[in-house]
Chains A and B, each alone.
Chain A
Amino acid sequence: MANPTGIGAAILRKEDRRFITGRGNYVADLKRPGMTMGVFVRSPHAHAMVRGVDATAALAMPGVLAVLTGADLAADGVGGLPVGWGITGKDGLPMKEPPHPALADGKVRYVGDAVAFVVAETLELARQAAESVVVDYDVLPAAVGVLDAVRPDAPLLFDDVPGNLCCDWDMGDRAAVDAAFAGAAHVARISLTNNRLIGNPMEPRAAVAEYESSTDRTTLWTTSQFPHVVRLLMGNFVLKIPQHKLRVVAPDVGGGFGVKQFHYAEEAVLTWAARRIGRPIKWVCDRSEGFISDAHGRDHVTEAEMALDETGKFLALRVSTLANMGGYLSTFGPNIPTNLYAPLLAGVYTTPAIYCEVKCVFTNTVPVDAYRGAGRPEATFLVERLVDICAAELGMDRIAIRRRNMIPKEAYPYQTPMVVEYDSGDPVGCMDRALEVADWAGFAARKQESARRGRYRGIGISTYVEACGLAPSRLAIRMGARGGLYESATVRVHPTGDVTVLIGTHSHGQGHETTFAQIVSEKLGVPVERIDIVFGDTDKVQFGMGTYGSRSLVVGGSALSKAADKIILKGRKIAAHQLEAGLDDVVFENGVFSVVGTDRRRSFDEISLSAYVPADFPLEALEPGLEEQAYYDPVNFSYPGGAHIAEVEVDRETGSVELVAYTAVDDVGTVINPIIVAGQLHGGITQGVGQALCESAVYDEGSGQLLSGSFMDYCMPRADMMPRMEIQTHSTPCAHTDLGTKGCGEVGTIGSPAAVTNAIVDALSELGIAHIDMPASPNRIWRIMQNARLPHAAE
């Protein structure tokens, strides 16, 4: 490779050193002069009227500075939290969008809903004071699960939202689907629940807010994936602070997975309170508090059916989903089970007609929003489970039915019946490679061997496509986005030729300080040690939409590539002047500007210096300096895809499932750094395995209490739950991004739940089991096995 730190180089991460030495700079580590501590008083009830908040005792405690409530917010004219994406129902009417006050306004709608905010000199004091705040609740019956909430007699969360229905939404050609079903030789059906998840980045959310009266400037440090968006939403809609007077900083952030890509009430309350009391305030979320205040993910109840002809060809897919929104709309809540779900229902197949309807339902639970994959894992799980059921019912091989229906490589670009056009891909290629790597052919022997040890063994495959690189603004705005989804990058070349990049995405584990430096290194021929990537501070970086939806490299990387191209063009102009050549005769390669066919040349560093010391510089035609900026708005989503294969053993007695092998072959487009891509896959797959095997947010149906409210009850994947994963890439470059990249942040989480579940169902198929819901906890599997072994089950 020409450039040892360029695109494709397996270099180690530049950012590691501060983390391995304990010098990371997380929000909870911050201290500001005069800093106070804040604690939220949260509702212990799922649904209740708030008759009054008595803070007398709390305020009488020495060192307690304030106890603030929704009434104070209202008195100060603070607005509710905005929704960033609106959707339109079947009836053509906009979704119901009830107000979402930052502190409860007369009513609480989930356990954890914030009622008051206490500020004190120390954390201990703030906690004590919070405990002495007396809230007078009038408890109401709660609507906890989606199925409960849509019952005609269900309690209503909002008086003006009948049936708790936020929106009854659909996509696709209903008539074409109905017609295809009418003529189908076979119809396969599935009913499933996509289990509710809690993202749980290891760093709990935290914030510090500070107001400087001398400059009238406000700063919020927050654990956010998108500081500029927080500045815009909070400054413009909630607190009405002018953008130039508000700085939002997201320093080192300990994982996000979507959980940190919303504008949360706590951010607004802290910022408002800090301005009010004139002292910096810090709030660090306890983990148990995070369980009941971080937005949750997934939570669908779905019925779907596939129409097939007698040869196993898919004719049409019909899907009906109830999606839980929780007690209020979170920033992107309504977009996730609709626009990020239905368009992916074609999967990697040529299914010609698809219709999907989604009812978005309010319930007395924590708001639900994006969690790694966001809508696309739900779509993939549904399609890939249903495909296995189709195969079983038709007596076809699971691979054969996939092969029969897969979009062939030659058919790309491929327009699906669900809005999106896949630009590139090779699902058959990915699948064949995965089958080989996982030794699918040798499975029968392994199954026998397991049987000898008294264990069921199963193998499962999931093929998938995802739409990421969020997003083409025009398309997104047409789908209801209330903002653009471009990205921006500035490349600042210093007089020495060293480079600082200012970019609007945010790295919270993804390794951008390395991969983005590799892109610049490739472009400008400067080694990565001489390139720094700056992000996460609205005072430093021009603008940006942040990091989510596997967009950073795809959208941000393209902006960066374009900015670097502008640097090269300007450098060529300077070189052309200095070398007395025409612009067209000056080329830039490996960090050197030269005149073609001659030995006249200038190094990148020489040109950089002369841009700032313009002695020999075309000042009449060109501005001095060497700094360029680009905003990039993608023309399409990008569509990574792949095939994942899981192999499991199930204990016949206990029902415990062991994941014994995992293979992933993914098409993520151009790979900038294979080490980092593999790491993203490992983490993503493990989160998906967590959903399949153990993770589940469980609410008590009557009281609406979160039963899985700590790491003792919410089972997170641990090291001993995972086998060594085999990760390979089978890439087709993206046709429309600058570098051919497609994104890899979410693919693991999208492919794995179905692969693992399909393997478990395969293992249990000899008991006649056709479907199981996630998570496959020992208890659930044991019950299913017991049930299947009862005499009646064989009939």
Chain B
Amino acid sequence: MDVALEVNGAAVRHDIRENTLLVDLLRETLGLTGTHVGCDTSQCGACVVHVDGRAIKSCTVLAVALDGSSVTTIEGLAATAGGDALHPMQTAFHEKHGLQCGFCTPGMIMSAVDLVRQNPAPTEREVRAGLEGNLCRCTGYQNIVAAVIEGARVMRERQGV
């Protein structure tokens, strides 16, 4: 089946089997391996990407169902923030030591950006609740939470809020 998407700002068109998951299209067909697979029950959030600006678990959605949508992965995130080398949330994860092995990180960052879109000034409690769909086994979440709050602050600043 033919599917046409915009992925990280570029138009892509592929003939894929209709049971192809978005994550497989991204990783296997497009070589965008920054989106990870950490489970097979839609529980871990390692696979989170943005579809039309909203976070979704790419392991749980068929690629053909998204025909015509715009997909952003971790590889394309920085460009959405005005083409800086890094998106403020990426910088915040670095500066707050919000990652260790890095496996959950792309999904965490993508979820965090969406969390801040919905709630530009989240409290610690709100961040913890908002990351409920993302597992990290390394960091104990403490520095991830700090990173999300810091990333949100910089995002607000950039938007002049």
**A→B interface (CB under 8 Å):** 12-13, 15-24, 26, 28-29, 31, 200-204, 252-255, 257, 284, 286-288, 508-511, 675-676, 678-679, 681-687, 710-712, 716-720, 722, 724-725, 748
With A22-B32, A26-B33, A288-B41 as given contacts, are A202 and B144 in contact (CB-CB < 8 Å)? no
- From known contacts A21-B75, A511-B100, A710-B39, infer whether A718 and B105 are also in contact, taking CB-CB under 8 Å: no
Contact of A254 among B95, B101, B132 (CB under 8 A): B101
- Please name all residues of chain A whose beta carbon is closer than 8 Å to the beta carbon of B41 when the two chains form the complex: 287-288, 710-712
The 26 sampled A-B contact pairs (Cβ below 8 Å) are A13-B94, A18-B102, A20-B93, A21-B34, A21-B90, A22-B32, A22-B73, A22-B74, A24-B103, A29-B27, A200-B137, A201-B101, A253-B101, A254-B36, A254-B102, A255-B101, A509-B100, A510-B100, A711-B41, A716-B137, A719-B127, A719-B145, A720-B129, A720-B131, A722-B141, A722-B142
> Would B40 and A287 count as touching, CB distance under 8 A?
yes
Chain A: CB-nearest residue to B127: A719
Cβ–Cβ < 8 Å partners of B136 in chain A: 202, 719
Please, what's the 1-or-0 string for B50-73, where 1 marks a CB less than 8 Å from any CB in chain A?
000000000000000000000001
Cross-interface CB contact of B103 among A23, A26, A683, cutoff 8 Å? A26
A202 CB to closest chain B CB, in angstroms?
A: 4
Bound Cα distance A508, B99 (Å): 11
Which residue on chain A has the smallest CB distance to residue B43?
A: A711
Number of contacting residues on B, CB 8 A?
Answer: 53
Contacts A21-B86, A686-B141, A722-B140; is A203 near B36 (CB within 8 Å)? yes
Chain A residues lying within 8 Å of B143, measured Cβ to Cβ, are 678-679, 682
Chain B 96-118, CB within 8 Å of chain A: the 1/0 string?
A: 01011111111001000000000
* CB–CB B124/A683 < 8 A: no
Chain B facing A: main interface SS: loop
Q: Are B86 and A202 in contact (CB under 8 A)?
A: no
Q: In the complex the two chains form, what is the Cα distance from A254 to B97 in whole Å?
A: 16
Is B38 located at the chain interface by the 8 A CB criterion?
Answer: yes
How many inter-chain residue pairs (CB < 8 Å) link A and B?
177
Pick from A28, A255, A284, A711: contact of B100, CB below 8 A. A255
Provide the residues of chain A in CB contact with B35, threshold 8 Å.
22
> What residues of chain B lie closer than 8 Å to A719, measured between beta carbons?
127-129, 131-132, 134, 136, 141, 144-145
Q: With a CB–CB cut-off of 8 A, which chain B residues contact A284?
A: 37
Seen from chain B, the residues whose Cβ lies within 8 Å of a Cβ on chain A are 27, 31-41, 43-44, 46, 73-75, 78, 86, 90, 93-95, 97, 99-106, 109, 124-125, 127-129, 131-132, 134-145
Contacting residues, chain B, for A712 (C-beta < 8 A)? 41, 43
Give the chain A neighbours of B40 by CB distance below 8 A.
286-288, 710
Q: How far is the CA of A28 from the CA of B24 in the complex (A)?
A: 12
CB neighbours (8 Å) of A21 from chain B are 34, 74-75, 78, 86, 90
B94: nearest residue on chain A (CB-CB)? A16
Tell me the nearest residue of chain B to A510, going by C-beta.
B100
> Which residues of B have CB within 8 Å of A686?
139-141
> In the complex, which residues of chain A have a beta carbon less than 8 angstroms from the beta carbon of B32?
22
Q: Using Cβ atoms and an 8 Å threshold, which residues of chain B touch A684? A: 140
A sample of 9 more A-B contacts (CB under 8 A), given A20-B86, A31-B31, A676-B97, is: A23-B34, A201-B137, A202-B101, A202-B104, A203-B101, A287-B38, A678-B97, A719-B127, A719-B128
Residues in A whose Cβ lies below 8 Å from that of B31? 31
Task: Kindly report which residue of chain B lies nearest to residue A30, judged by CB atoms.
Answer: B33
With a cutoff of 8 Å between Cβ atoms, the chain A residues found around residue B138 in the complex are 202, 255, 509, 679, 683
Closest to B125 in A: A720
Residues in chain A near residue B75, CB distance under 8 A: 21-23
CB distance from A788 to the nearest CB of B (A): 31
Q: CB < 8 Å: which of B43, B74, B101 contacts A508?
A: B101
Looking at the complex, which one of A16, A717, A725 makes contact with B99 (CB distance below 8 Å)? A16
Q: A22-B35, A509-B100 are in contact. Are A202 and B44 (CB under 8 A)?
A: yes
Whether the Cβ atoms of B93 and A683 lie closer than 8 Å is no
Provided the pairs A20-B105, A22-B33, A720-B129 are in contact, do residues A685 and B140 lie with their beta carbons within 8 angstroms? yes
